């Protein structure tokens, strides 16, 4: 017990020190990455908990947050999610995981951003200076392979390799009399890696994840990095401090310190109340965001004929935009 507490003190100090924004430098690092749709939350449960999910990760949705978490997803697991983001942007994602007793857990993933129809224009020698060229829709998707292994009762690690493709549509370059058509597209590989460590103190878990590690993407001569993000998190069911394992009530508390490439440091806080592992209510709060802060959600689990079905809902509040919603469905068999 004493050794565990000695370990926890520097860990807690580290997470709060990590969370201090770079106020002394006055730098927010805005607009330094591309493919920002990777920063849109892919999962109702994590989003409802304020994105504080790095140490909570324990199901198929974990592949989008901390790949080590799929090591805890027993059997076969299918997960589907839709995030209805601002400006009518939708992000659809899904994962299928298979856990083998000795070889570990394998995953197939898919994610795509739907931007809707955008209006195209072309320079022209008229009063307006342009003419409309109709509508177009950019293409963004990623398909991936994941793997995780629970090395012991205390430690698990996992990785997620993604093939990323983006096409922004076509443009006309050169003179107005003889323009040349150019289609802007690119593809590249990106990698996520994560770990989970059960400290041995009650249900306290420490998690770490690195997301979107890749070479720089390039459109002709223009280069930009993906939104590389490092996360460090703690999570614990605090009812362990006064209730027995058989008690129907559970209260999971989680906190993440986040270091994004394109912004100063952030903190995420999450809560999840569960009754009988059947009904769940969630809430979260994020610091150092221009728009997002509070989030809420709920979930249901139901087992029938060897199947475990799950339905989750997430609601994220914005300051100047309409709130956004997420819907997730999963089943295990």
Render pLDDT for 209-249 as a digit per residue (tens, 0 to 9).
Answer: 999 999 888 777 778 888 999 999 999 999 999 888 778 99
The predicted structure's pLDDT at residue 24: 37
Distance CA(71)–CA(192), nearest Å, equals 15
The predicted structure's pLDDT at residue 285: 97
SS (H, E, C) 185-208: EEEEEEEEEEEEEECCCCCCEEEE
Render pLDDT for 81-138 as a digit per residue (tens, 0 to 9).
Answer: 999 999 889 999 999 999 998 899 999 999 999 988 777 777 777 777 777 777 777 8
Distance CA(114)–CA(141), nearest Å, equals 9
- In the chain, pLDDT over 70 holds for what percent of residues? 86
Global pTM value: 0.85
Domain containing residue 200: 2-332
Residues 280 and 248: beta-carbon distance below 8 Å: no
The predicted structure's pLDDT at residue 192: 97
Phi/psi of residue 73, nearest 5 degrees: -85, 100
Overall domain count for the chain: 1
**Whether residue 176 has pLDDT greater than 50:** yes
The CATH number assigned to the domain holding 50 equals 2.40.160.40
Q: In a 3-state reduction of DSSP, which class is residue 95? A: strand
Distance CA(149)–CA(105), nearest Å, equals 6
């Amino acid at each position: 017990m004493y050794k565990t507490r000695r370990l926890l003190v520097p860990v807690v100090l580290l997470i709060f020190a990590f969370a201090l924004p770079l106020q002394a430098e006055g730098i927010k690092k805005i607009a330094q990455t591309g493919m920002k749709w990777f920063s849109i939350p892919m999962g109702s449960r994590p989003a409802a908990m304020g994105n504080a999910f790095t140490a909570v990760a324990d199901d198929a949705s974990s592949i989008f947050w901390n790949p080590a978490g799929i090591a805890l997803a027993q059997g076969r697991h299918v997960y589907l999610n839709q995030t209805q983001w601002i400006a009518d942007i939708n992000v659809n994602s899904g994962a299928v995981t298979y856990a083998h007793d000795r070889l570990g857990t394998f995953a197939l993933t898919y994610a795509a951003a739907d931007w809707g129809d955008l209006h195209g224009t072309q320079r022209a020698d008229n009063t307006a200076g342009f003419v409309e060229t109709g509508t177009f829709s950019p293409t963004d998707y990623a398909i991936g392979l994941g793997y995780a292994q629970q090395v012991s009762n205390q430690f698990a690690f996992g990785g997620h390799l993604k093939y990323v493709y983006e096409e922004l549509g076509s443009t006309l370059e050169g003179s107005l009399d003889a323009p040349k058509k150019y289609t802007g597209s690119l593809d590249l590989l990106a990698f996520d890696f994560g770990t989970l460590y059960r400290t041995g103190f009650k249900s306290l878990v420490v998690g770490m994840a690195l997301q979107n590690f890749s070479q720089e993407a390039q459109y002709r001569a223009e280069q930009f990095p993906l939104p590389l993000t490092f996360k460090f998190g703690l999570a614990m069911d605090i009812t362990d401090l006064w209730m027995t394992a058989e008690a129907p009530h559970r209260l999971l508390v989680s906190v993440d310190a986040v270091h994004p490439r394109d912004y100063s440091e952030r903190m995420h806080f999450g809560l999840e109340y569960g009754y009988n592992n059947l009904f769940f209510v969630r809430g979260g709060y994020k610091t150092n965001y221009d728009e997002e802060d509070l989030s809420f959600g709920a979930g249901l689990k139901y087992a029938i004929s060897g199947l475990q079905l799950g339905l989750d809902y997430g609601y994220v509040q914005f300051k100047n935009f309409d709130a956004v919603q997420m819907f997730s469905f999963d089943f295990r068999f």
